[in-house]
A and B are shown apart, each in its own frame.
Chain A
Amino acid sequence: MPSAAVVELDEVRFAYGESDVLRDVSFKVARGEVVAIMGGSGSGKTTLLKLIGGQLQASAGHVRVDGEDVASLKEAALYRLRSKLGMLFQFGALFTDLSVFENVAFPLRERTALPESVIRDLVLMKLQAVGLRGAAQLMPNELSGGMARRVALARAIALDPLVMLYDEPFTGLDPISLAVTGKLIRELNDALGSASVIVTHDVAESLAIVDRVVFLADGVIVAQGTPDEVRASTHPFVKQFINGEPDGPVPFHRQATPLAAELGLERAHG
């Protein structure tokens, strides 16, 4: 990729207490790129997004967004940086006490001093982009899961972010909503000229829209490449993940004492 990286992770390590969640994670995302981070549940994907958003701080290494080291920023500077970020949460995280319109208007009202008429036009434009202009006056509890996700997307792009972060955008959607969401992510990224990071374990949908895939297992990057490279990969983990095989490098059983010992059939040693 020729253009400069807007998200850059450099040998990032993150630990909750004693155990490492992420180890030596390094990758870059440039403008215009859509990158998927894939891995099983509990592989540290969501932690990665929180590190980029500055909600968590790396134990070692550097996270840079638009050239700024996230960990070194003071609160005010961090908030300034965050207005360049848009994040779509797993279930939308719409404000349940505000209407769809007010939800999308929220970042505009809080972060800008635009006059009401401009805010109204912007909100309707963003809602038009996700195809929900007609739902502007509904409350979040009147929306289906897919619609709520799209409203949340409209809210996330309200300030035309430089970087979009998606936390499991495909979870719990029917096939149509899923395709719509995927298409929107790609189109919005191209229209805004932003960089997108998608954390997901939905293989088929993400391979169709992304430029690059990073595979994460047990907190380390095990493989990365373009969708075509990934499909052709012979890497055992990637093969297991893409084909959805139950057993492989990722064992079916979580590490435990031998079953016989736990059931008391055999005297546990030590």
Chain B
Amino acid sequence: MADVLVRFFSRLGAPFTDALLKLGFAGRFFVAILRHSPTSLLRFSLTMREIWFAGVLSVLIIGVSGLFIGMVLALQGYDTLVRFGASSSLGILVALSLVRELGPVVGALLFASRAGSAITAEIGLMKATEQLSAMEMMAVNPIARVVAPRFWGGVISMPLLAAMFSAMGIIGGYLVGVQLLGLDSGSFWSQMQSAVDFRLDVINGVIKSIFFGIAVSLIAVFEGYDATPTAEGVSGATTRTVVTSALVILGLDVILTAFMFRGV
């Protein structure tokens, strides 16, 4: 009987201790990245290349998704608002949803699946093909040379991508609302301007996307560095990057939103 209980609790506890151990490793890894960041940021061309990989190559998917989401928001929002005779508030609806929530959150989710997975796969494969070991043996620290530039490339790219997502979404909303549904262009923009606050809405959205950028980049480089150096291990790590990033983004979003928009 006692034996069964012991086994039951061990099985129950194992995932928690594993998760906690991994969290501990990730924390130490984060510290190591920060410690090696000055050297890699001084050689900015390394980070430049990663901004190109994580940022520039994600522009298309971010821009197009933003545009479509803005259009859908306008179509759906118009349908609801017109029942209350408030269709001129469409601009507010589109802009506030994008700037506060959808831009940072959906932008980060897309970023995790487009750039985060690529970063994990790249670092994981470098590990599997002993490139990281080779670097270490050439007296070059792979955290400084490989991991830190990718981390910072992601952190720098994310807020810019989120802003592009929001801007494209608002343009999409404008195209549908004003050009397609025939709302007045002047009231669309002026209502939006009077309801969206720069500091409270736009800046808070940017702060969110900075947090998401740090979280996604850290998860991506950590999963890559921690991957089992086999084909299977790398593919598993890539999947984990996308899944963990999505959960962390949404969880962080709840916490950050609760802090930012409390009582307003």
Contacts and interface: CB of A to CB of B under 8 A. Distances in A.
A106 to B, nearest CB: 7
A79 B134 contact: no
Highest count of chain B CB atoms <10 Å: which of A95, A159, A165? A95
Interface in A69-89: 79-80, 82-83, 85-87, 89
Contacts of B141: 79
B133 A83 contact: no
Interface size band for A: 20 to 34
B42 interface: no
A82 B139 contact: yes
Contact of B130 (A83, A89, A111): A89
A109 B89 CA distance: 59
Interface of B: 125-126, 129-131, 133-134, 136-141, 145
A155 B136 CA distance: 14
B140 A111 contact: yes
Q: Which 5 A-B pairs have the closest CB atoms?
A: A82-B139, A93-B134, A93-B130, A87-B137, A79-B139
Given A91-B130, A96-B129, A111 B138 contact: yes
A98 to B, nearest CB: 10
Contacts of A91: 129-130
Contacts of A152: 134
Contact of B137 (A53, A90, A96, A110): A53
B140 A89 contact: no
20 contacts: A53-B137, A55-B133, A55-B136, A55-B137, A79-B141, A82-B139, A85-B137, A87-B134, A89-B134, A91-B129, A93-B131, A93-B133, A93-B134, A96-B129, A106-B138, A110-B139, A110-B140, A155-B138, A159-B138, A165-B137
A75 to B, nearest CB: 8
Nearest to A110: B140
B250 to A, nearest CB: 33
Contacts of B125: 96
Contacts of A85: 137
A227 interface: no
Contact of A107 (B129, B130, B131, B140): B140
Nearest to A108: B138
Given A82-B139, A83-B139, 20 more contacts: A53-B136, A55-B136, A55-B137, A79-B141, A82-B137, A82-B138, A89-B133, A89-B134, A91-B129, A93-B130, A93-B131, A93-B133, A95-B126, A96-B126, A96-B131, A110-B139, A110-B145, A111-B140, A152-B134, A155-B138
